[in-house]
Amino acid sequence: MVQRLFKSVDNAPLVLFRIFFGLVFVFESFGALSTGWVKHNLVEPRTNFTFIGFEFLLNLMGEYMYVHFAIMGVFALFVTFGFKYRFSIIAMTIMWAAVYFMQKTSYNNHYYLMMLVGLIMSFLPAHKFASIDAKLNPSIKKNFMPNWILLVFIIQITCVYFYATVAKFYPDWLDGTVTSNMYASMKKFPAFSELFKNHYFHLAIAYIGIAFDGLIVPALLWKRTRVFAVLLSLVFHISNSITLEIGVFPYFALALCVFFFPPDQIRRVFFRRKQPLNNETPALDFESKKIFQYFFVPYLIIQILLPIRHWFIKGDVLWTEEGHRLSWRMMLRSRTGYARFHVVDKATGERVLFKLDDFYNKKQRKRINTPDMIWQAAQYIKSEYAKEGKDVSVFAASSYVSINKKPGCQLIDPEVDLTTVEWSHFKHHDWILLLKCTEDSSSRKFINSNLPLKVITP
């Protein structure tokens, strides 16, 4: 088994994927500029919800982000053509990581996957063939790679689909509630409006989703079903791209299929002039083995373990969101709600209702329904008062959240000063109330909870 890992195989899949991967980032970078995504998410907002611990990235926000995405797009072109590859892929990945950790308002799981694959590609010799680097420096040209590279990608892809499958086994997915919410209100395809409202259609989509996520990797691994699996992936991802508008992910996912085909087959189809391997192919160098042992083995262990952390945290992850991120819990629920913050001046004891409108835009305010964002908003409110020399306590006095359009319930303990508690990524926070809705926790309360307090901004 170990010998097979370090066996030399044709590097055609890696080279082809480098080209696809670079193009995906080209479209992502320049597409974000042309559609206004950068403007609406990173230039216009006064502040943003970063990943906790990455608040320093807020310093990049503003008109510089236009330049950031343009430069990232140029690096993506360099990756596509294999020019200054090592520097370009590392720079592109770091710049994308900055974008990813900078904001959670417009979050997609494929942003995370793109960052991970960029990290993987930074360690791989994807520029040794069909690249400007190899043309300018023929001494680096190679037509082989270690077999473990295929394994790394297959395990990474398996993690994505496996955990996406497991996460769907909960009542609201199995009874079609989630897919009903997803399609029933879809208005851009009027010809299919009745179909989109049909309960059996919702059930069909729910179980097709489970079947696809659960079976696609085995189908790609088995020679007899591989071509069918690719065609099915094409239909599945393109239909999702059209109906759900999830950006470049469908095409990115299709590009990853190249690692399931025999390398020689990829070479014959896409690189017909490329010389096949022979018995004189040199053995792999020691550096390749060290990269696998000391980076990729720990990396893959983390990828396997990280998505299960929520199973060891108290409470339902659908409600608390603790352990939700970075766990491949994709498009599993709709979450709506609001939080109203009371601010108490420690010097005077004055209690006021803080107005969020002047600090967060409409889209951001709609996202203040998860514990991490509520906690971050409290820290931000405190910092705004601190600019005026005031020391305050901040309470989420009213924080009602609804999952999958069910009656809203209080999420945060209204008696806890959120500026005095710390955030942890790996344990339950006692100030997050566990889901215990009663008859009193009605949708009327969710909608009409108004507080008779003076509203001010610092």
Average pLDDT, the chain: 90
Return the amino acid letter for 7. K
Predicted confidence at residue 241, as pLDDT, reads 77
Predicted confidence at residue 341, as pLDDT, reads 96
Predicted confidence at residue 148, as pLDDT, reads 95
- Which residue spans within 317-391 are E strands per DSSP? 335-345, 351-354
Is the predicted pLDDT of residue 54 greater than 50, yes or no?
Answer: yes
Whether residue 418 contacts residue 431, with contact meaning beta carbons closer than 8 Å, is answered with yes
Q: Of 201, 165, 209, which Cα lies nearest the Cα of 183?
A: 201
pTM as predicted: 0.92
Determine the 3-state secondary structure of 412 from DSSP. Answer: strand
Report d(CA 453, CA 343) in Å as an integer: 11
Predicted confidence at residue 436, as pLDDT, reads 67
Is the predicted pLDDT of residue 95 greater than 50, yes or no?
Answer: yes
Residue found under tokens 């992850």: 317
Report d(CA 240, CA 31) in Å as an integer: 18
Is the predicted pLDDT of residue 440 greater than 50, yes or no?
Answer: no
CA atoms within 13 A on the CB side of 377: 31
267 Cβ contact list (under 8 Å, min separation 6) = 10, 12, 274, 276
Predicted confidence at residue 6, as pLDDT, reads 85
Predicted confidence at residue 240, as pLDDT, reads 77
What band does 185 get if pLDDT is binned at 50, 70 and 90?
Answer: confident
Return the amino acid letter for 294. Y
What band does 443 get if pLDDT is binned at 50, 70 and 90?
Answer: very low
- H or E element, residue 97: helix 85-102
**Mean pLDDT in residue range 65-78:** 98
Report d(CA 157, CA 175) in Å as an integer: 27
Predicted confidence at residue 281, as pLDDT, reads 64
Q: In this structure, what token pair is assigned to residue 68? A: 């950031």
pLDDT digits (tens, 9 = 90+) for 262-290: 999 999 999 999 988 876 666 566 578 88
What band does 337 get if pLDDT is binned at 50, 70 and 90?
Answer: very high
Question: What is the distance of C-alpha 412 from the center of its chain?
Answer: 25
Q: Report the side by side order of strands in the sheet with 409-410.
A: 409-410, 392-403, 335-345, 351-354, 455-456
pLDDT digits (tens, 9 = 90+) for 187-243: 778 888 888 889 999 999 999 999 999 999 999 999 999 999 999 999 988 887 777
Determine the 3-state secondary structure of 120 from DSSP. Answer: helix
Report d(CA 73, CA 123) in Å as an integer: 20
Is the predicted pLDDT of residue 257 greater than 90, yes or no?
Answer: yes
Percent of the chain scored above 70 by pLDDT? 93
Is the predicted pLDDT of residue 450 greater than 70, yes or no?
Answer: no
What band does 442 get if pLDDT is binned at 50, 70 and 90?
Answer: very low
Identify which has the larger pLDDT, 420 or 241.
420
Report d(CA 168, CA 318) in Å as an integer: 11
Determine the 3-state secondary structure of 339 from DSSP. Answer: strand
**Mean pLDDT in residue range 165-180:** 95
What band does 244 get if pLDDT is binned at 50, 70 and 90?
Answer: confident
- H or E element, residue 400: strand 392-403
